[in-house]
Amino acid sequence: MTARRNMPSPGHVFLITNGFRCSHCGATCLPTMPSPVDVFVAAGKAFSKLHRGCPKPVPKPGPEFTTVEAWRAGWDTGLSSLAIYTHMKGGIPRHDTHPRDPDDFGRCYRLLKIAPEWRARIAEVGAHGLAWEAIATHWDELERLYEEELPTKVAPKLYALMQVLLAPAEARVS
């Protein structure tokens, strides 16, 4: 789910040790080694083209994990959700770790579904800078929009509100 549909999608086909891998569908292409560079490059380009349209896997909306430690070791972490984790564990997250878009917010949302006791304390995270303060004090509203837009897989309202909330903090930084 994203509001930035007009942005080019970053590449999702990667060079791995002995070939290429599509991070969306998990397919790999492993040319016979050693391989002439030209052949290797051509194979990579062909593979990349073949997987250009592979859809990004959509994480399940509900909590995939039942404990925060399982979540921490899993695939659904991000900078801002890890910042919440760090705060709740008594650490001090960096100020620039606030959620920037609905994808970031979604990871935070799912973490807090696993840990409702942390959801109740989300306002505390507002201590970590202006941007976090703006987000944390409007968490109820952000959460409501997230839930409203979740079935549509795009989140223009949530993204718009986040932009409005973050604008003063970002103006201060630049």
Q: Cβ of residue 26: shortest distance to Zn ion, in angstroms?
A: 7
Q: Would you give the distance in Å from CA 101 to the centre of its chain?
A: 8
46 vs 92, beta carbon nearer Zn ion = 46
Scanning 17-25, 39-47, 63-71, 159-167 for contacts with Zn ion by CB under 5 A, the matching segment is 17-25
Q: Report the residue number, 11 or 36, with the smaller CB distance to Zn ion.
A: 11
Q: What's the full length of the chain, in residues?
A: 174
Which of the stretches 16-24, 67-75, 85-93, 128-136 binds Zn ion when contact is defined by CB under 5 A? 16-24
| CB nearer to Zn ion: pick between 25 and 130 | 25
The count of chain residues that interact with Zn ion, using the rule CB under 5 A, is: 6
Binding residues among 24-63 for Zn ion as defined by CB under 5 A? 24-25, 27, 51, 54
Q: Is 22 in the site for Zn ion (CB under 5 A)?
A: yes
Long-range CB contact pairs, 117-124, < 8 A, 24+ = 118/68, 118/84, 118/88, 121/88, 122/84, 124/87
Rg (CA), the chain: 19
Q: How far is the CB of 170 from Zn ion (least distance, A)?
A: 35
Q: Which among 134, 162, 136 has a CA at the least distance from the CA of 149?
A: 162
Instruction: Burial-class residue 153 by CB neighbours within 10 Å (0-12, 13-18, 19+).
Output: exposed
Binding site for Zn ion (CB under 5 A): 22, 24-25, 27, 51, 54
